[in-house]
Amino acid sequence: MRASVNRSVVTKSDLVNAAAKAGNLSKSAAGDAVNAVFEAIVANVARGNRVTVVGFGTFLPRERRARAGRSPLNGKEIKIAAKKVPAFSAGQGFKDAVGRR
């Protein structure tokens, strides 16, 4: 699937349409499948698991440690709490595909 020349963003709807066409599915069934994949990735990363799709990449949780920052309102130093954030690391196949373009 390629984005058109004038379009720089591929939306979830575009992914659903591509899945429907590639899998010879209805748009509703393809939408359910795409949603199920996204939900499974989010649920597993939220539990602290890595989700690896060989050739595509790995979704994982990353720890950000607590740090000092500055308030944009008054410039005073504030404490920013530690937290977990989602991250993605591209696989070699993905990197190679992007590098060819």
- The DSSP string of 19-71 is HHHHHT--HHHHHHHHHHHHHHHHHHHHTT--EEETTTEEEEEEEE--EEEE-
Lowest mean pLDDT, pick from 14-18, 22-26, 87-91, 97-101: 97-101
The CATH fold assigned to 49-101 is HU Protein; Chain A (4.10.520)
Q: Find the range with the poorest average confidence among 4-8, 52-56, 75-79.
A: 4-8
In the chain, which segments carry CATH 4.10.520.10?
49-101
Provide the pLDDT confidence category of residue 8 given band limits of 50, 70 and 90. confident
The two three-digit tokens of residue 48, written as one number: 């602290």
Q: In this predicted structure, what is the pLDDT of residue 100? A: 84
What gap in Å lies between CA 30 and CA 4, rounded to an integer? 21
pLDDT on residue 1: 53
